[in-house]
Structure 1
């Protein structure tokens, strides 16, 4: 890969200073990234380090005073007989009780049918082809952002389609690819609708918050107002960067001689696909309408005893399954992708198979999170870290927005080396959520700051699982495209998306705007 990047850098029309910057950045990221093991291995390494640290720290008799109860909390060795016994006797329960596991598996059953039947890809393609050329860039970025409802579908569907649409419009296809990649990946946390990511992150944030406040609840809508507001911001930012920075940088496009011979540019949906889309969309609207009747009336089935919306929040996972499953099923039946019940079972099975790596990761993460708590290191680190931050606050005034910006930058840097949002949050959440709670910052705010940092550097790291696929898409239009050329065109998006999303969060904090329904920015210190 490094050789590909080098050859591209020396043969493009990119100014030497830009080539030098992108090459140095690429080399540093690639060298560091290649030195790291896989995320699953990382978690087992973290488990080993946690066990060793707990042994040493407990032997030193380290303890801290809980700021709320005054109780002295001491570190417990994970090599003690009690903890060794708990590790083996509770192994199955530790894994099965891991909060994200069941939620993700259930949601993906519904999304899997919509994806495997072709409904999601057809819907995205139909939407983008209906957009006028003047709005093409914004439509691609918007569609990329919204595709995150289907988790990884955007990488496979929207990004190559963005390049194809730009090529068909007589524009540079790599600019279309870059716009789509920015929407799908740099705008990963923005959406007009809740997605599986909201469920996943909340399921990590809630137990982290309960370290300090046992009854604290974090819903899947904890950041909804904020992530919805980011959508138009990212769409406009993506349009400006694409049309006024990336396309001029790429210059005029000269297609390879064999491109037009082997490329199918007839992307019009067949009559059967259009019929399937119509019935699928109608079924989705029917499900949404039915769900609204369960939520909107005060006596609805998904309202609480006193008219509260708590049951509706808790039902989001189940509703998402139905909202995706039914249109996918209808589309599949109409287009004859589904002809018997076994087809549906096969689609669900294939989706679960695709989640195999996640399940292995969840096993390792579940035990790391659990053992970190068994040792009391989570409480000790949180209380100590809060004390350090409070010292910084009193000595140099590091608090409020500057403190959150520092946290965003830390998250963005770690994201260069650990691509999985859940893997990073499983590590960072149990430490930073309680730490910032002790300083009066809500878990919802910490989660929102993490989401900002977790997104805008996705498009710069070759450690992103889909990065090799992006290069393959790019090489369809430019045989010399490599990692360096992708990083070079994506760097402006990363900088701009990082700046604008941090600025939006700063505005949120400054004006005290709630991050979501019943999701405050600040809390009373536990």
Structure 2
């Protein structure tokens, strides 16, 4: 990977982080070490009697469960297969890649990207990629397995460094996960927990709350983060990566008549596919919606079905394109192309097995829950009761640190909301503002956490272009995004607090 010789302090710091991080073992080995450390730590803290009071008194005491006793050892052996199969990203990635594989190996993606390169101004590509990543949260986690590799391929087609494209997409998908122009599944997921926590202090106030409580702020965030992500990519990340020497980023060839014909047929099939999917979602009788719920919640069946939907969105146009261009002549070609795609995912499958064990052990031992409660106690002890803005900033920092260890947004908020929503209300800060602070923290540190479930798949995508890419490379590449997004979001939040603008429909910043 080429490097820019004009290294300032920032570049030298990032290079140092990369060198240090890459001295770590292979990600597979590292996750195995993490899993072993969890086992040892569970035995130690369990022997010490480590426990905390759950924020919800009805849940009682949280104790550390040891994996070093007979019961724990049985769990390790008996759960190994379930931990692998149940690893959250595994099925999503593999099923989605079946469709992407057909679209890629039939030549559709290459032709579409070359057509895009020829028609879209180069200066807009980065912004479009970051924006698309941010908006991909409508499709839950699908952006990780769709946009990050497409970002790399797109930049390679432009003759730019593919890892810069991957980083721009990853930043939008992950660090900007909370922002969107439309409500997403995250809104009801967190909003209902916030409303329930607000009822502890003021049931009357909670009755007037709604799950779109951060909507206005998140709309503005899409624009701001797109600009910030574009600047970080083009001014810091891409210059640091230097010229790509892998030989993939050659000037793309112009589309020939057969490819143009295939693209037209694929585009028509895509429209037909989307129309068929719309019939499954839009009408009140549609099977992929719940007619008895409000607008956002009613789409839950559709949101939970996004993986096979994305599979079809790539598979059908890819198949049509392959038939028109004669890249697919029979069902044997389809089977072979899908098989080749799965073969290329071998390293990720190995990573998924080891990472799945670690994630499961961490949850089984309750170490994550104990760390969250201890972090909450630390924040409560900072003595910032009379400085609302400082307390919110401190909360963002603590929640962002916790996010490095626990990836699930709902799991963390289910634990933290009953503590911090009432606490902030007592100091005149609205539940809506507290949830917003949490959403900022929950997004911005995703891209620098090796424990984030999709971190391994992003490394696997990056290694397609540079076999030397390791955890240190990815963290050093993504750290500028994490810092910049955090700072910009905090600045926006402070402006919102000082001006008193509503965060969403009927969602004030201050609690009356």
The normalised TM-score by structure 2 is 0.68
Count of paired positions: 436
Aligned positions of 1:316-395 closer than 5 A: 316-392=306-382, 394=384
Structure 1 residues 43 and 124 mapped into 2: Cα distance closer, same or farther (>3 Å)? same
Aligned positions of 1:472-483 closer than 5 A: none
Q: What is the Cα deviation at residue 93 of structure 1? A: 2.2
Supply the distance in 2 between the matched residues of 1:222 and 1:355 (Cα, whole angstroms). Answer: 40
Q: Where do 5+ consecutive residues of structure 1 fail to align?
A: 165-173, 214-220, 256-261, 415-423, 473-482
- Asked whether 1:65 is paired with 2:47, we answer no
Q: Where do 5+ consecutive residues of structure 2 fail to align?
A: 134-142, 198-211, 422-430, 451-457
- Asked whether 1:160 is paired with 2:156, we answer yes
Q: What is the Cα deviation at residue 22 of structure 1? A: 4.7
Q: What is the Cα deviation at residue 137 of structure 1? A: 0.3
- Asked whether 1:86 is paired with 2:72, we answer no
Q: Deviations over 1:86-145 (max 9, x none)?
A: 2212322232233332222222222222222222232232123113x5xx3023431465
Structure 1 residues 470 and 347 mapped into 2: Cα distance closer, same or farther (>3 Å)? closer
| Contact 1:144–1:180, Cα closer than 8 Å, also in 2 | no
**Could you tell which deviates more after superposition, 285-294 or 26-35?**
26-35
Q: Deviations over 1:61-84 (max 9, x none)?
A: 222222311522322321111121
Q: Deviations over 1:328-378 (max 9, x none)?
A: 111121122211112222222222223222222222222222222332323
Secondary structure, in 3 states, of the residue corresponding to 1:86?
A: helix
- Asked whether 1:29 is paired with 2:10, we answer no
User: 2:169 maps to which residue?
Assistant: 184
- Asked whether 1:269 is paired with 2:255, we answer yes
- Asked whether 1:281 is paired with 2:267, we answer yes
| Contact 1:83–1:374, Cα closer than 8 Å, also in 2 | no
| Contact 1:54–1:77, Cα closer than 8 Å, also in 2 | yes
| Contact 2:102–2:337, Cα closer than 8 Å, also in 1 | yes
Aligned positions of 1:93-492 closer than 5 A: 93-131=82-120, 133=121, 136-143=122-129, 146=132, 150-163=146-159, 180=165, 183-189=168-174, 232-237=223-228, 265=251, 267-304=253-290, 306=292, 308-392=298-382, 394=384, 397=387, 398-405=390-397, 407-408=399-400, 426=407, 434-435=415-416, 438-440=419-421, 446=438, 449-455=441-447
Supply the distance in 2 between the matched residues of 1:469 and 1:502 (Cα, whole angstroms). Answer: 35
Aligned positions of 1:490-509 closer than 5 A: 499-500=487-488, 503=491
Structure 1 residues 227 and 61 mapped into 2: Cα distance closer, same or farther (>3 Å)? same
Supply the distance in 2 between the matched residues of 1:493 and 1:378 (Cα, whole angstroms). Answer: 25
Supply the distance in 2 between the matched residues of 1:39 and 1:153 (Cα, whole angstroms). Answer: 19
| Contact 1:445–1:521, Cα closer than 8 Å, also in 2 | no
User: 1:417 maps to which residue?
Assistant: none
Secondary structure, in 3 states, of the residue corresponding to 1:79?
A: coil
Secondary structure, in 3 states, of the residue corresponding to 2:101?
A: helix
| Contact 1:138–1:236, Cα closer than 8 Å, also in 2 | no
Secondary structure, in 3 states, of the residue corresponding to 1:64?
A: strand
Structure 1 residues 437 and 45 mapped into 2: Cα distance closer, same or farther (>3 Å)? farther
The normalised TM-score by structure 1 is 0.66
Supply the distance in 2 between the matched residues of 1:266 and 1:75 (Cα, whole angstroms). Answer: 56
Structure 1 residues 300 and 41 mapped into 2: Cα distance closer, same or farther (>3 Å)? same
User: 1:259 maps to which residue?
Assistant: none
Secondary structure, in 3 states, of the residue corresponding to 1:85?
A: helix
| Contact 1:138–1:238, Cα closer than 8 Å, also in 2 | no
Secondary structure, in 3 states, of the residue corresponding to 1:268?
A: coil
Q: What is the Cα deviation at residue 242 of structure 1? A: 8.2
Q: What is the Cα deviation at residue 158 of structure 1? A: 1.3
Structure 1 residues 240 and 359 mapped into 2: Cα distance closer, same or farther (>3 Å)? closer
Match of 1:40 among 21, 25, 28: 28
Supply the distance in 1 between the matched residues of 2:214 and 2:117 (Cα, whole angstroms). Answer: 27
Secondary structure, in 3 states, of the residue corresponding to 1:73?
A: strand
Supply the distance in 2 between the matched residues of 1:275 and 1:450 (Cα, whole angstroms). Answer: 45
Secondary structure, in 3 states, of the residue corresponding to 2:52?
A: strand
Structure 1 residues 24 and 84 mapped into 2: Cα distance closer, same or farther (>3 Å)? same
Supply the distance in 2 between the matched residues of 1:388 and 1:492 (Cα, whole angstroms). Answer: 27
| Contact 1:140–1:179, Cα closer than 8 Å, also in 2 | no
- Asked whether 1:55 is paired with 2:51, we answer no
Supply the distance in 2 between the matched residues of 1:403 and 1:309 (Cα, whole angstroms). Answer: 32
